[in-house]
Amino acid sequence: MKNRQVLLASRPQGWVSEQNFRIVETDVPHPNDGEVLIRGSYLSLDPYMRMRMDAGKSYAPPVEVGEVMVGGGVGEVMESRDPRFSKGDVVTGRLGWQLYAVVPGAGLRKVNTAGAPISTALGVIGMPGVTAWYGLMKIGEPKAGETVVVSAASGAVGSVVGQVAKIKGCRAVGIAGGPDKCRYAINELGFDACVDYKSASLESDLAAAVPNGIDIYFENVGGRVLDAILPQLNAFARIPFCGYVSEYNPGEGYGVRHLRQLLVNRARLQGFIISEHLEIWDQALKELAGWVAAGKLKYHETVTEGLENAPRAFIGMLQGKNLGKQLVRLG
Ligand SMILES: NC(=O)c1ccc[n+]([C@@H]2O[C@H](COP(=O)([O-])OP(=O)(O)OC[C@H]3O[C@@H](n4cnc5c(N)ncnc54)[C@H](OP(=O)(O)O)[C@@H]3O)[C@@H](O)[C@H]2O)c1
């Protein structure tokens, strides 16, 4: 029995390439007191990992060159030296890009295997779902009849934002890359409208999609999309600032021009990091699981087979090749 790991081999200059990663084989680690050995089933690939590949100031320390890439995972307990977990439990936590992980029991959460496929613990009933719930409910504070716009609308976070906005009685408008993703948001997820940000007519398409202006803009991408949004804001609009994936490659800053709209509309823009709001996770996960079970919250997973294909899948996700939650099945 051997472990396989994906290490950060070098820091990217601009776009990530497969050469920035190295795959190694190591011994399976043993847990000490308070720790648990887990065999991963699925690895989650998330945009924040791009930032962790860079040195420099951020909300979390970078992955050092030669270290295992950080990442959430779901898997089965093989051996436990934490009394809260037993062999055979399915758990989720920060398992990293590897087949076997030893982690402190304190950082693990048991997965309800009866409710939904275990992969959903990394998506719609996991970190991205909770991120959507927190940003929309606690920062956006939606009221029935308001217009909610979300970017990266067909992705793991954005797809939940739009559907929860509908559940709360709002008009949900997505922004996504390309007509296929927009059709998916409207026809499968129930968005009222969706705008293709790759179109040359983004600004006028967006204006047409929000005839009553924008009360909540859930920000996932930044850049030109944010600039198109700002002139459409209503007075006292709220902007949960969740991510800005269009600028995760350092040095590619866009330079937003319409920031004065925040002032003239007395808008509130609030950044947040979901791992700092553990107090709402139980409530959010319960509501998300309930909506999934009731068929009110749909999800899609893009599943790549095999740890060795994780780098390629990660690069693809940053380029928008995924639909919904990007996962790697570890087999
Ligand atoms: N604050 C937090 O605690 C927190 C937690 C989780 C996630 N996030 C953030 O939430 C956002 C969405 O994450 P996710 O996991 O749901 O990822 P995702 O949407 O499933 O995947 C990333 C998507 O970003 C879009 N994208 C890539 N480059 C873009 C560009 N230049 N302009 C516009 N869109 C671009 C692509 O969709 P298109 O094909 O539509 O372009 C791609 O599919 C990210 O910014 C992420 O960092 C924040």
Q: How does pLDDT run across 146-184, given as a tens digit for each residue? A: 999 999 999 999 999 999 999 999 999 999 999 999 999
- The answer to whether the CB of 240 is under 6 A from ligand 1 is no
How far does the centroid of ligand 1 lie from the alpha carbon of residue 299, in Å? 15
- At 217 the pLDDT is 99
Q: Which of 46, 139, 199, 245 to mutate to test the pocket of ligand 1 (most atoms within 8 A of CB)?
A: 245
- The answer to whether the CB of 125 is under 6 A from ligand 1 is no
- The answer to whether the CB of 273 is under 6 A from ligand 1 is yes
User: Which residue's alpha carbon is nearest to atom 32 within ligand 1?
Assistant: 246
**Span 23-51, average pLDDT:** 98
Q: DSSP secondary-structure letter at 297?
A: S
- The answer to whether the CB of 126 is under 6 A from ligand 1 is no
- At 89 the pLDDT is 98
Task: Grade residue 117 by pLDDT with cuts at 50, 70 and 90.
Answer: very high
Q: Which of 180, 194, 221 to mutate to test the pocket of ligand 1 (most atoms within 8 A of CB)?
A: 221
Whole-angstrom distance, CA of residue 74 vs CA of residue 116 = 13
- At 252 the pLDDT is 65
Task: Grade residue 93 by pLDDT with cuts at 50, 70 and 90.
Answer: very high
Look over the chain and give the mean of its residue pLDDT values, rounded to a whole number: 97
**Span 225-234, average pLDDT:** 98
Q: Which of 157, 186, 319 to mutate to test the pocket of ligand 1 (most atoms within 8 A of CB)?
A: 157
- The answer to whether the CB of 156 is under 6 A from ligand 1 is yes
E strand residue ranges, 224-305: 233-241, 268-271, 301-305
How far does the centroid of ligand 1 lie from the alpha carbon of residue 195, in Å? 16
Helix (H) or strand (E) holding 167: helix 156-167
- At 69 the pLDDT is 98
> What are the tens digits of pLDDT across the range 232-252?
999 999 999 999 999 998 876
User: Which residue's alpha carbon is nearest to atom 18 within ligand 1?
Assistant: 155
How far does the centroid of ligand 1 lie from the alpha carbon of residue 322, in Å? 10
Whole-angstrom distance, CA of residue 191 vs CA of residue 187 = 8
Whether pTM > 0.95 for this model: the answer is: yes
User: Which residue's alpha carbon is nearest to atom 5 within ligand 1?
Assistant: 131
- The answer to whether the CB of 227 is under 6 A from ligand 1 is no
Q: Judge whether residue 199 has pLDDT over 90.
A: yes
**Span 171-198, average pLDDT:** 98
**Span 79-103, average pLDDT:** 98
Q: Residue 30 to residues 82, 88, 97, 99, 240: CA-CA distances in angstroms?
A: 13, 16, 17, 14, 41
Q: Are 217 and 149 in contact (CB under 8 A)?
A: yes
User: Could you give the percent of the chain with pLDDT greater than 70?
Assistant: 100
Which ligand 1 atom minimizes the distance to the CA of 46?
15
> What are the tens digits of pLDDT across the range 254-295?
999 999 999 999 999 999 999 999 999 999 999 999 999 999
Q: Give the list of residues 6+ apart from residue 83 with CB closer than 8 angstroms, or none.
A: none
- At 155 the pLDDT is 98
Q: Judge whether residue 47 has pLDDT over 90.
A: yes
Higher pLDDT, 87 or 57: 87
- The answer to whether the CB of 157 is under 6 A from ligand 1 is yes
Whole-angstrom distance, CA of residue 138 vs CA of residue 26 = 43
> What are the tens digits of pLDDT across the range 132-145?
999 999 999 999 99
- At 195 the pLDDT is 98
Q: Give the list of residues 6+ apart from residue 283 with CB closer than 8 angstroms, or none.
A: none
Report residue 325 as tokens.
Answer: 């939650």
